Amino acid sequence: MGLLADRSIVVTGAGRGLGRAYAVAAAAAGARVVVNDVDEDVARSVGADIESAGGACAVHVGSVADWESADEMIQRCVREFGRIDGLVNNAGSHYLTLPEDDEEVRIRDTVESNVLGTMFCGIHAMRAMIRQGGGGVIINSTSAAQCGVSMVASYGAAKGATNSLTYSWAIDLMKHGIRVNAISATALTRMVGHTLEHRDSPVTWPPETMAPLVLYLLSDLSRALTGQVIRLWGGSLQLIAHPSVTPTLAERETWTVEELDRVFRHELRPHLQPFGRDMEAYPESPETTQSP
Ligand SMILES: NC(=O)c1ccc[n+]([C@@H]2O[C@H](COP(=O)([O-])OP(=O)(O)OC[C@H]3O[C@@H](n4cnc5c(N)ncnc54)[C@H](O)[C@@H]3O)[C@@H](O)[C@H]2O)c1
């Protein structure tokens, strides 16, 4: 018996890259898999690969960012396989630009695929899981870009939203026995290939290297894990720390601009937070020139 025998799993954006690797690995581990992608050709090709390897699968073509289509995808899983045990919210899109050069169409597309798509599929999946009596797993896809990385502000913001969803869903769904985690996977896919046109990337490993983490999170072995954002960077397994509020650092009956200025220059100075994925301490002199 495979690790996911008798499980019914939906993987979004499964036509290529990481999603394909997750869907193929889940089917090989015994799961019945709904392969979703907005791109019909690649979705059908993955479906054919799974079936020719002896796996059970259904193909759903549609955008995760369409409420009705997301509902239909989850219903398809329930109709064909009798239930839904897991959703891998993998579909997403990405591009590089300086923030001042960003454009409305690309921003909307990024928010739609990464944020609305995650929300729509997650909400329909959790409703179905609750209707069938509770239990189940949702895995969202995030990126260390949410911590702040040059040239991916819109994408990073969308992935930050995905993390917030993960934390809130994990809290609200605990009483239904539904676990919600997010993964920050990295692999040489079409997405990373696009960035290589603009800058070097150390990512050389294939998407299949990320699949064991998804299998583990989908399985009962990880039944004690929820609300976690887990990063796999090549062979390095890391956790993305939960954003948190510091203890009160200064308190006044009422604040004035002058008092805020004094406190920020002196008392709060050692507490200023580093920002961005790669910064270790708040910069010594971040003062910028201001427009007149
Ligand atoms: N590759 C990496 O190193 C990396 C790093 C961090 C996060 N991620 C995340 O992992 C996920 C998969 O990335 P990938 O590298 O495999 O990307 P990819 O571009 O290679 O594949 C993404 C797939 O999602 C599909 N898709 C896009 N928008 C969709 C939509 N609205 N509805 C349905 N399908 C849609 C695409 O057609 C494509 O087949 C994404 O959420 C991405 O942000 C990837």
pLDDT tens readout for residues 170-224? 999 999 999 999 999 999 999 877 666 566 677 889 999 999 999 999 999 999 9
Nearest C-alpha neighbor of 85 from the set 32, 147, 153: 32
Q: Is residue 218 part of a domain?
A: yes
pTM of the model: 0.95
For 135, 161, 180, 291, the CA distances from 223, given in Å and listed in that order, are 10, 24, 11, 54
> For residue 197, what pLDDT is reported?
59
Residues of the chain with pLDDT under 70: 194-200, 288-292
Task: Concatenate the DSSP letters of all residues of 77-91 into one string.
Answer: HHHHHS---EEEE--
Q: Which domain holds residue 157?
A: 8-239
Write down the residue that tokens 């591009």 correspond to: 95
- Beta strand pairing call for 236-239 and 229-233: antiparallel
Q: How far, rounded to the nearest angstrom, does the alpha carbon of residue 254 sit from its chain's CA centroid?
A: 41
Number of domains in the chain: 1
Q: Is 49 strand, coil or helix? A: helix
Q: Is residue 132 part of a domain?
A: yes
Q: Is 38 in the pocket of ligand 1 (CB under 6 A)?
A: yes
| Structure-block tokens of residue 229 | 């954002």
DSSP state of 272: P
Alpha carbon distance 25, 208 (integer Å): 8
Q: Is residue 250 part of a domain?
A: no
13 Cα nearest atom in ligand 1 = 24
* Distance between first and last Cα of the chain: 70
Amino acid at 100: E
CA angle, 185 then 89 then 52, to 5°: 85
Alpha carbon distance 250, 256 (integer Å): 13
Nearest alpha carbon, ligand 1 atom 2 = 186
> For residue 254, what pLDDT is reported?
98
Q: Is 12 in the pocket of ligand 1 (CB under 6 A)?
A: yes
Q: Is 191 in the pocket of ligand 1 (CB under 6 A)?
A: yes
Write down the residue that tokens 């960012």 correspond to: 65
DSSP state of 240: P
What CATH number is given to the structural domain containing 59? 3.40.50.720
Q: Is residue 3 part of a domain?
A: no
Q: Is residue 273 part of a domain?
A: no
259 alpha carbon – ligand 1 mean position (Å): 47
Active site residue 155: yes
Q: Is residue 74 part of a domain?
A: yes
CA atoms within 13 A on the CB side of 273: 10
Q: Is residue 205 part of a domain?
A: yes
145 Cα nearest atom in ligand 1 = 6
Alpha carbon distance 23, 11 (integer Å): 6
Q: Is residue 245 part of a domain?
A: no
> For residue 255, what pLDDT is reported?
97
